[in-house]
Amino acid sequence: MGFSTTAIHAGNEPDVATGAVTVPIYQTSTYAQEALGKHKGYEYARTQNPTRAALETNIAALEGARFGFAFASGMSATDAVLKLVKAGEHVILGDNTYGGTFRLFSKVLSNYGVEFDLVDTSDASNLEQAFKPNTKMVFVETPTNPIMTVTDLQAVSDIAHAHGAKVVCDNTYMSPYLQRPMEFGVDIVVHSTTKYLNGHSDSVGGFAALNDEKDAEWIGFIQNSVGAILSPFDSFLVLRGTKTLAVRMEAHDKNGRAVANFLTEHPKIQKVYYPGLASHPQHELAKRQQKGFGGMVAFETGSLDNARKVLESVKICTLGESLGGVETLISHPATMTHASVPAEKRESLGITDGLVRISVGIEDLEDIIEDLDQALI
């Protein structure tokens, strides 16, 4: 079955009670039981909810996974997956991730005995020496937020598996339409559904997709025990969002490529980070591993003042955190999404005070370019 057919039909069975074509929002906290222990498979809505179950079936299918779990945010999905790691065990973390992911490791998980090391996984040969006898997981984003570094998922999976470690890929930047990490050996895919999967900047959510039955049992157990579940209404919104994922991603990809080319040629811009550019160090890998390059672009303006001028002069692009919605969002990683990364680490990665990030939306391309052009004078 093709991607869009799966996106529109997986999990979206007509409602058994009424025939409703769209999965209803089952806004209930509990379910009536006929007798003690006799019920329809639904007991309490933290544990099971039909709207959430439909979304879980849907996104798992899009990622090519057997199991899927929807969470209250991308961070709670990542946190649940990290509960596969115990105190005294070690994780290799890509050195550039969303700032909140770094903060979860450095400020939270480290308090519970989870060890981690940062590694530039864009060069898979860096990985081998980072393994320790207690390494249980390799956690990467590709492309990374915001520097757009690409990691070879097949190479990383092969190395990690040879060391008995699992590979987790945060696929938020690409969505399953542009990249399916499990096809390259990745064990677990996480998402912030807040971004492309929902696509309309009106819901916060997260997802974990995986194939291993034992790990899925544990993540389901964590989902129920901790309770960071996605609400029925948010599940409905994301389920609606994924139906148009393919057409939205095609439009983001087309506009993203054009904006990256425009910025590359602009005299005020010193550097553009976008894997679709032939000058990107992992351009060939991105072409192999991804179905497109997407709508995320970062660029170097040279100083905080220059960045501020662009960020405060745009009229159609909206200054704000987040990404992946239909509207173009523009942001300043150093003070916004990556403020929790130490300044020296930010500098070494290229997250300078002059770096600006754009989540290119699906407005008319000429309007986005015209807006950036007038802001860059």
Cite the active site residues: 46, 98, 170, 195
Identity of the amino acid at 53: A
The least CB distance from residue 106 to ligand P1T, in Å, is 15
* Closest to ligand P1T by CB, 65 or 168: 168
Residue 290, token pair as written in the block: 């991804």
Please say which residue, 6 or 78, places its beta carbon nearer to ligand P1T: 78
- For residues 67-86, which are near ligand P1T according to CB under 6 A? 73-75
**Binding of ligand P1T by 321 (CB under 6 A):** yes
Closer Cβ to ligand P1T, 170 or 353, answer by number: 170
**Positions in 221-250 near ligand P1T (CB under 6 A):** none
User: Using the rule CB under 6 A, which residue among 81, 84, 188, 323 binds ligand P1T?
Assistant: 323
Residue matched to tokens 């890998």: 285
Site for ligand P1T in 192-221 (CB under 6 A): 192, 194, 204, 206
Residue nearest to ligand P1T (CB): 74
Is residue 151 at the binding interface for ligand P1T, with CB under 6 A as the rule? no
Cα–Cα distance for residue pair 205/52, rounded to 1 Å: 11
> Whole-angstrom Cα distance, residue 54 to residue 239?
8
Q: Which two tokens stand for residue 26?
A: 């089952």
Report in angstroms how near the CB of residue 353 gets to ligand P1T at its nearest: 17
Residue closer to ligand P1T (CB basis): 6 or 290: 290
User: By CB under 6 A, is residue 179 in contact with ligand P1T?
Assistant: no
Give the orientation angle of helix 232-243 with respect to helix 50-63, to 10 degrees.
40
The residue type found at 77 is A
Phi-psi region of 276 (alpha: psi -120 to 50; beta: other; left: phi over 0): alpha
3-state secondary structure of 62: helix
Cα 324 from Cα 152, distance rounded (Å): 23
Alpha carbons 288 and 180: distance in angstroms, whole number: 12
The contact set with ligand P1T (CB under 6 A) reads 73-75, 98, 100-101, 141, 145, 170, 172-173, 192, 194, 204, 206, 321-323, 337
